[in-house]
Amino acid sequence: MAGDGGLASQVFILAKDLAKVEEAVKGLGERDGKVQSVLAELDLGPLQLAVDHLEERTTGLQAEVQALAPIRAGLDALAKTVKQIREDLEAQAAEPAEEKLAVWNWSFQGGMNREEAGEAWEILVGWARSTLQVQYGWIGPPADIFARTGQGYGSVNNGPSTPPRIPACWYRHREAVIELSWLCQEWIKIYTTSYGTPTRAGDWHERADRAKRRVIAALSKCVEKGHVDDPWQTDPKSPGAPQAIDDDEVLSTWVGWDLQNRPNAPAPGPVADH
C-alpha cells in the first residue's frame, strides 16, 4: 500500500485533471454556433487524456481505500477500548475513597493515646460480645465443662467433642488483646465497608481459626483453672518473666566488640551546587 504522501499526491493530480475537464466544458458553453462545428474545431486530445488519467487515478484511489479498511477496523476497536477505559476510570473516581483503618498499637511507647485507646477498647469489647460470643460462640467457659478428660475438655457421654473456647478473661492478657484486635479491625472492614468480598471473608475465617488456636494456647492455664495472672505482671523479676536482654553488661561488651570490627563511616564529600 502506498504511503500517506503517495495518496495525497494522487488526490492532487486528480484535482488538476478535474480542473482541466471543467475548463474544457466551460469552453464548450462559451462558443456560439452549432455544436458539430464547435466539436470539429475543438482538440479533444487533451480532454481524452484527462479522462484517461481520471480513470487511472480513480482505480488507484479505490485500491488505496480498500487497503485502508483493516486499519480503520483496528482504529475503531482501539477507540472503543479507550472509551471503555475512560468510563472505568470515571466510575472509579466516582466511588467513595476506601477508608483506611489505623492499626491499634497497644504499646505504651509510641502507641495509642488515652482517647484512642478508650475508643479501641469500646469497639473491641463490643465486638467480642456481639460477634465472637453470640455469633461464633468462641468466647466463654469450655462448652463441655462437665466432661473433663486427661487431655482437656472432651465430649459428653461420648458424643462429639466441642471446639475449645477463648477464656472470658482474654482482656487481661496483652497477647490476647493484640491478637483479637487485628481480627476485630479486619472483620469490621470486611463486613461493614465496600472493601469486603466473599474471598476476603473466607480468608478472614481461615486466619481467624489459626489466631483463635494461638490465643487459647497462650491462655491455656485460664482454660483449665479460670483466670490466672501471669506472675511477671506484678513482679517483673519473677522466674520465667519475659526478658528481652539477659545481661545488660554482657550486651554492652558484645555491641562494643561488633562496632570495633566495622570500618569507619566515609568522610563527607563536598556539597554539590544545585
Where do the structural domains in the chain lie, given as residue ranges?
4-94, 114-233
Residue 152: its pLDDT value, please? 45
* Burial of residue 222 (number of CB atoms within 10 Å: 0-12, 13-18, 19+): buried
pLDDT at 58: 75
Q: Are 219 and 166 in contact (CB under 8 A)?
A: yes
Note the pLDDT of residue 63. 75
Angle separating helix axes 174-192 and 198-218, nearest 10 degrees: 170
Print pLDDT tens along the chain (274 aa): 445 556 566 666 666 766 666 666 666 555 555 555 655 665 667 766 777 777 777 777 777 777 777 777 777 778 888 888 887 787 766 655 556 678 999 998 899 999 999 999 999 999 999 999 989 989 887 655 544 444 444 445 555 566 788 999 999 998 999 999 999 999 999 999 888 899 999 999 999 999 999 999 988 888 777 888 776 666 667 666 666 777 888 989 999 999 889 888 888 877 656 5
Q: Structure pTM?
A: 0.53
- Which residues on adjacent β-strands are paired with residue 99? none
In this predicted structure, what is the pLDDT of residue 246? 74
Instruction: Look at the chain and count its residues.
Output: 274
d(CA 203, CA 253): 47
- C-alpha–C-alpha distance, residues 185 and 161, integer Å: 30
Amino acid at 72: R
Asked if 57 and 2 touch (Cβ cutoff 8 Å), the reply is: no
Q: What is the C-alpha to C-alpha distance for residues 65 and 51, in angstroms, rounded to an integer?
A: 21
pLDDT for residue 186: 95
For residue 153, give the H/E element and its range. Answer: strand 152-153
Distance (Å, whole) CA 140 – CA 174: 18
Is 166 in contact with 176 (CB distance < 8 Å)?
Answer: yes
- Residue 49 and residue 43: Cα distance in Å, rounded? 11
CA distance 262 to 265: 9
Q: What integer pLDDT is reported at residue 147 of this predicted model?
A: 45
C-alpha cell at 224: 483449665
Cα atoms found within 13 Å of the Cα of residue 179, Cβ hemisphere only: 21
At 98 the pLDDT is 58
The C-alpha atoms of residue 215 and residue 210 are separated, in whole angstroms, by: 9
Write out the three cell numbers for 166. 477463648
Q: Where are the alpha helices (DSSP H) in the chain?
A: 4-30, 35-41, 45-94, 114-127, 174-192, 198-218, 220-225, 248-260
Side chain identity, residue 118: G
Question: Rounded to an integer, what is the distance from CA 56 to the centroid of its chain?
Answer: 59
